[in-house]
Chain A
Amino acid sequence: MTVATQAPERPAPVSDETGAGRRPRRDRAGTALGRLRPATAAGLGLVTLWLSLVVLIPLAAVVVTGAQGGWSAFVDAVTSPAALSALALSAGLSLAVALVNAVVGTTIAWVLVRDPFPGSRLLDHVIDVPFALPTIVTGVVMIALYGPASPVGVNLVGTRVGLLVALLFVTLPFTVRTVQPVLAALDRDAEQAAASLGASGATVFRRVVLPVIVPAIASGASLAFARALGEYGSLVLISSNIPKQTQVASALVYGKLEDATDPVTSTQQAASLAIVLLAVSVLVLVAVELLQRKGARRHG
């Protein structure tokens, strides 16, 4: 988070000098960019201001508020029984969702790229549905099928299975969309060579294809993990929010925020929990960035 809080001041003041004097060679467009320089500076100022007001200062406020009570208050907030069970539930569900997606998402991507059939275009579009649906809509959609008046007689309200199904729905596209382009760009010569030398289909996949797509699988699964960890809207209806059973981390944060008995303390506790969630988001983002660089290097 230190990176995030320092960022607003850094680029803005340097922009004029760096843009103009010190690095003229980086401007391949030469005079074209040279004349745009005041516009570039103005743009940089605007974007920095926008990013700071909307994202960076608010996130800094979370960190400052969460740390306000000191280390012991922070530890108390994130290790209370309710907090521990909510964080453990969210982490466990997210891990499960990431693992399922690593396998299923890769398989779906494989079928879409390597086994086109009549209707695979439609399948490709259906994969986008979970991203396009608002989270609360996903929640209602889940209730329509797995709610108290379920037409198939399966009521998952207030169960962890219900949470898992909702999260699998929400995170379906992540791994598919990271693996699909890598698989499509993959040169098949190596596979054919391996097959002509007698390697079985499974061996070809494990030894030739898998090593190339592993970074993409890992970054897709990480994104699914991050999304599942902070998810709220699609779970709020099906979870029933039962403390220590189906209360996920973001629901606990919201509960603390709405708690009016001692608003200052409970807001501080909410911010402490939010720090944990934010830290995980940043870690995942860094991991994905590194994985994608690794993947890009492999492709040359």
Chain B
Amino acid sequence: MAEAATSPAAPVGERRTGRHVVRTLVVAYVAVLVVLPVGVLVWRAFAPGLGAFVDAVTDPLSVHAFWVTAEVALISVALTTVFGTVAAFLIARSGLPGMRLLDALLGLPVSVSPIVVGLALILVYGSTGWFGGALESAGIQVIMSVPGMVLATMFVSMPLVTRAVVPVLVARGTDQEQAAESLGASAAVRFWRITLPGIRTALVTGVVLALARSIGEYGAVLVVSGNVQGQTETATLRVDTLYQTLLQPDAAYAVTFVLVAVAILTIVATSLLRRSQGGTR
């Protein structure tokens, strides 16, 4: 089947060997660069035995770190989903001027260094920052606390929901909504019964991507959290502490394995979602 699909592009017969060489090189490159190190990590996570793995993952401080990660990720993804979806509607449907700029600004956080993200948030929300003093006298601590970590996480996962939803909104158009309106459906009914089911798969894909990004953020959270063990230490920070400060590489490999498993689950989930969306990337 593969032969039949590729033969029209191979006008010259002897190119087949060249083709195999290129294919082998590509597979070898990806295998050595990605598969080998991840495989070694999995092996090293379990090399000290299953008992040691379970001990490392269920250590109270590690469990606490997983909970902090869950808390920060859920809050930030909930907010990103709401605001990101609204932004997607504005970009795709409002026809307002400046929406290209909004789209471009949403993309900016992806290419900003996570350390710069952390620095930027400290300069505004830290105790000597622009808003930090006023917030602190109102009893709200942002930096070295959950709100700051949520801000950092939202910053880095900013465009994921919007970028997943916009193409679907554009492709679907508004014909169905108009038809429903002409039949007397209210705005709320149109949204819940027509628009939302249409974008559901794309929205879930965006949420999954944002969740994975939020669980995995390290640099920005490192800067704003203060990384206090048992308090503001997330799972990614726990990995760093175990390896660099506590000098327990085996425990670090074990916690890392949990994060690798989450990442692989994300790939599987988004792949299945894309397939159910009809193979659109």
Contacts and interface: CB of A to CB of B under 8 A. Distances in A.
Interface residues of A, number: 111
Contacts of A169: 33-34, 37
B65 to A, nearest CB: 12
Interface residues of B, number: 100
Contacts of B19: 115
Contacts of A168: 33
A285 B108 contact: yes
Interface in A13-64: 14-15, 18-19, 23, 26-29, 31-33, 35-36, 39-40, 43-44, 46-47, 50-51, 53-59, 61-62
Contacts of B114: 135, 230, 232-233, 250
A43 B85 CA distance: 10
B8 A192 contact: yes
A253 B116 contact: yes
A281 B109 CA distance: 9
Contacts of B240: 136, 236-237
B151 A54 contact: yes
A288 to B, nearest CB: 9
A269 to B, nearest CB: 11
Interface string A238-268: 0000000000011101100100000000010
Most chain A Cβ neighbours within 10 Å, of B41, B120, B263: B120
Nearest to B15: A201
A296 interface: no
B139 to A, nearest CB: 19
B219 A56 contact: no
Given A55-B105, A59-B120, A61-B123, A47 B86 contact: yes
Interface in B18-45: 18-19, 22-23, 25-27, 29-30, 33-38, 40-41, 44
Contacts of B243: 140, 143, 237
Contacts of B222: 254
Secondary structure at the A interface, as helix, strand, loop or mixed, is: helix
Nearest to A61: B123
B42 to A, nearest CB: 9
B150 to A, nearest CB: 9
A195 interface: yes
Contacts of B9: 114, 188, 191-192
Interface string B76-100: 0001000100110110011111100
B178 A270 contact: no
A84 interface: no
A81 B90 CA distance: 47
Contacts of B171: none
B166 interface: no
Most chain B Cβ neighbours within 10 Å, of A11, A59, A191: A59
Given A54-B158, A132-B263, A232-B113, A28 B174 contact: yes
B134 interface: no
Contact of B96 (A40, A61, A137, A200): A40
B239 A136 contact: yes
A232 B219 CA distance: 7
Contact of B95 (A27, A115, A128, A289): A27
B154 A54 contact: yes
A140 B253 contact: yes
A284 B90 CA distance: 25
Interface of A: 3-4, 7, 10-11, 14-15, 18-19, 23, 26-29, 31-33, 35-36, 39-40, 43-44, 46-47, 50-51, 53-59, 61-62, 65, 104, 107-108, 110-111, 114-119, 123, 125-130, 132-137, 140-147, 149, 151, 165, 168-169, 172, 181, 188, 191-192, 195-196, 200-201, 204, 223, 226-227, 229-233, 236-237, 249-251, 253-254, 257, 267, 270-271, 274, 277-278, 281-282, 284-285, 289
Interface of B: 2, 5-6, 8-12, 15, 18-19, 22-23, 25-27, 29-30, 33-38, 40-41, 44, 79, 83, 86-87, 89-90, 93-98, 101-102, 104-109, 111-125, 129-130, 151, 154-155, 158, 174, 177-178, 181, 187, 190, 212, 215-219, 222-223, 236-237, 239-240, 243-244, 249, 252-253, 256, 259-260, 263-264, 266-267, 271, 281
16 contacts: A51-B87, A59-B120, A65-B123, A126-B35, A132-B216, A133-B216, A134-B216, A137-B236, A137-B256, A137-B263, A144-B41, A200-B12, A201-B12, A230-B115, A232-B219, A277-B116
Given A58-B124, A135-B236, 13 more contacts: A4-B105, A43-B87, A44-B90, A51-B158, A53-B151, A107-B22, A137-B260, A143-B249, A172-B30, A172-B33, A196-B11, A230-B113, A253-B115
* 4 A-B pairs with least C-beta separation: A230-B113, A134-B216, A58-B120, A195-B11
